[in-house]
């Protein structure tokens, strides 16, 4: 009777978790069937942002009270949060509803097949190739062949497989400040009486807005903007944020970019599984422990650099989307943007950008990693340095560094999501770390390319600029 009471209590609590898809969740009386429905319910709530990560963890503890957990231990917080799994859960639930399938076996199958990971195990040849590319993304077939004792033809086929089977992409970080462009990220929550939707609708009209992201769990969101021009233009934007913080925003946290990085630690990948870096946890827990001296892949923003042109900016912005593209391929892509330059000019520009540390190529890959994480860490310079020094031990992480702290977008395996989340949140316990804000499920509201933004900017001898009066953000929120 006691176990029955526990099941009834757990079911009632789990039923309080609402999702946008509650209308397709069937109603059952069998507690064993309910276990699999609740597993999918928790995942949908987490992936759609209707519950916080902490509440999802509490819900899993309730889930564990169901005897079915012992037969089929399933933890939805350890499943990668992405559209692939979300869509499969939704499709399977709709199938159950369409054919009125409410038995334990049918619901269990729907749950199991929704979360079935169809990994493409990486073979040793491809892993060897990827290991070289992680360190030197623009290595030629011949250079990779020499480093791996493979033939250039084998390397060519391997790179093709990495692209097709393992979502390997070749990108580059760019220091846009070299052309007089300042990147700023603003985290904020509207005041209680202000509806987020109104703020969102107005901000989308701001011509310097690049990206807007928000979590559905709380009112916390952020925008990234590109402000072309000198300090006056930056100050005009900051002044407008200051005004809005008195009338529109409740919480405001401004990060002006001074560096960025993309770190990968492929040595954690062993036998087609990611190991959890216990060393990272220790280094975060004990601030007295010395950090290993590991090379960092950091691109520092140094401000306007003479010797670059608007054409160089366009070449760089196109080339960063495929850092392994040949100069001829880049030149062909540029023609579609009405810039007629030959491959020699492209090659010369790319060499100059890399040699002067304006462009830093990197490799992005999946291999079972998910990237629905964002952490804003407000901290002093010592902790900013420490965090940046530890990042090379992560599987895959992108950072945005500002005088205010660090913003991280770590890509981690689903099996370790909880550990990474708790590890990063625990930084807040240290003296020198003011706060750690987390966004677990990100609803992106659109992102404009910097090339699209720059089409209306004027290019001068000190880089891009726009009239200072056009930067004022308050005019776009004046109707709220």
Residue 6 has pLDDT above 70, yes or no: no
Q: Please, are residues 114 and 39 in contact by the beta-carbon 8 Å criterion?
A: no
- pLDDT tens digits along 159-189: 999 988 887 899 999 999 999 999 999 999 9
The CA distances from residue 215 to 46, 366, 445, 450, in Å, are 11, 23, 11, 24
> Of the candidates 435, 433, 434, 408, which has an alpha carbon nearest to the alpha carbon of residue 420?
408
What is residue 145's three-state secondary structure?
helix
Cβ-based neighbour number of residue 6 at 10 Å? 15
The per-type count for the chain, helices as H runs and strands as E runs, is 18, 18
When the pLDDT of each residue in the chain is averaged and rounded to a whole number, the result is: 89
Report d(CA 174, CA 177) in Å as an integer. Answer: 9
Domains belonging to the chain, first-starting first, are: 2-114 (no CATH), 124-166 (1.10.10), 176-262+368-476 (3.30.70.920)
Give dist(CA 440, CA 425) in Å, integer: 12
Assigned token pair, 350: 């790319």
Mean pLDDT comparison of 156-160, 165-169, 246-250, highest-scoring range: 156-160
Instruction: Give the model confidence (pLDDT) of 45-91 as tens digits.
Output: 988 888 887 788 888 888 888 888 877 888 888 787 777 788 889 99
Using alpha carbons, select from 130, 110, 461, 428 the residue that is nearest to residue 304.
Answer: 461
**Alpha carbon distance 37, 56 (integer Å):** 15
- Integer Cα distance of 32 and 105 in angstroms: 9
What pLDDT band is residue 325 in, cutting at 50, 70 and 90?
Answer: very high
Distance CA 430, CA 408 (A): 18
Residues 6+ apart with CB under 8 A from 396: 262, 263, 264, 265, 364, 365, 369, 371, 410, 411, 412
Question: Rounded to a whole number, what is the largest CA-CA distance in the chain?
Answer: 81
Grouping H, G, I as helix, E, B as strand and the rest as coil, residue 195 is coil
Average pLDDT estimate for 110-135: 87
- Tracing tokens 């540390």 back to the chain, one arrives at 357
pLDDT at 231: 92
pTM of the model: 0.82
């Amino acid at each position: 009777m006691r176990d029955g009471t526990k099941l009834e209590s757990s079911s009632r609590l789990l039923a309080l978790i609402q999702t946008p898809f509650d209308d397709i969740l069937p109603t059952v009386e069998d507690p064993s069937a309910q276990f699999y429905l609740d597993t999918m319910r928790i995942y949908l709530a987490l992936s759609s942002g209707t519950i916080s990560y902490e509440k999802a963890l509490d819900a899993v503890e309730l889930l564990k009270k169901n005897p079915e957990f012992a037969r089929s231990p399933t933890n939805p917080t350890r499943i990668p949060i992405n559209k692939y799994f979300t869509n499969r859960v939704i499709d399977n639930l709709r199938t159950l509803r369409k054919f009125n399938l409410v038995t334990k076996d049918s619901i269990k199958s729907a749950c199991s097949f929704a979360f079935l990971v169809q990994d493409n195990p990486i073979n040793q040849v491809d892993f060897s190739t990827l290991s070289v590319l992680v360190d030197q993304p623009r290595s030629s077939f011949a250079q990779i062949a020499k480093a791996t004792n493979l033939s250039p033809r084998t390397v060519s086929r391997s790179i093709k497989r990495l692209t097709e089977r393992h979502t390997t992409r070749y990108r580059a970080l760019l220091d846009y400040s070299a052309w007089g462009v300042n990147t700023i990220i603003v985290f904020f929550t509207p005041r209680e009486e202000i509806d987020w939707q109104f703020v969102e609708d107005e901000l989308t009209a701001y011509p310097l807005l690049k990206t807007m992201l928000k979590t559905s769990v709380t009112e916390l969101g952020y925008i990234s903007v590109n402000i072309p021009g000198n300090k006056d233009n930056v100050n005009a934007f900051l002044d407008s944020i200051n005004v809005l913080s008195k009338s529109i925003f409740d919480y405001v946290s401004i990060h002006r970019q001074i560096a960025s990085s993309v770190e990968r630690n492929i040595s954690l990948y062993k036998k087609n599984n990611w190991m959890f870096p216990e060393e990272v946890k220790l280094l975060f827990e004990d601030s007295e422990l010395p950090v290993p001296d590991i090379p960092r892949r950091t691109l520092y923003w140094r401000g306007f650099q003479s010797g670059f042109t608007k054409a160089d900016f366009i070449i760089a912005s196109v080339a960063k989307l495929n850092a392994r593209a040949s100069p001829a391929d880049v030149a062909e892509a540029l023609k579609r943007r009405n810039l007629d330059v030959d491959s020699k000019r492209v090659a010369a520009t790319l060499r100059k950008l890399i040699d002067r540390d304006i462009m830093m190529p990197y490799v992005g890959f999946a291999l079972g990693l998910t990237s629905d994480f964002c952490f804003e860490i407000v901290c002093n310079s010592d902790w900013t340095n420490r965090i940046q020094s530890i990042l090379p031990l992560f599987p895959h992480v992108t950072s945005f560094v500002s005088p205010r702290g660090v913003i991280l977008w770590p890509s981690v395996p689903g099996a370790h999501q909880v550990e990474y989340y708790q590890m990063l949140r625990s930084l807040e316990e240290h003296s020198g770390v003011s706060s750690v804000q987390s966004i677990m499920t990100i609803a992106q509201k659109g992102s404009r390319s910097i090339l699209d933004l720059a089409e209306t900017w004027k290019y001068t001898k000190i880089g891009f600029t726009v009239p200072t009066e056009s930067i004022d953000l308050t005019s776009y929120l004046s109707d709220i």
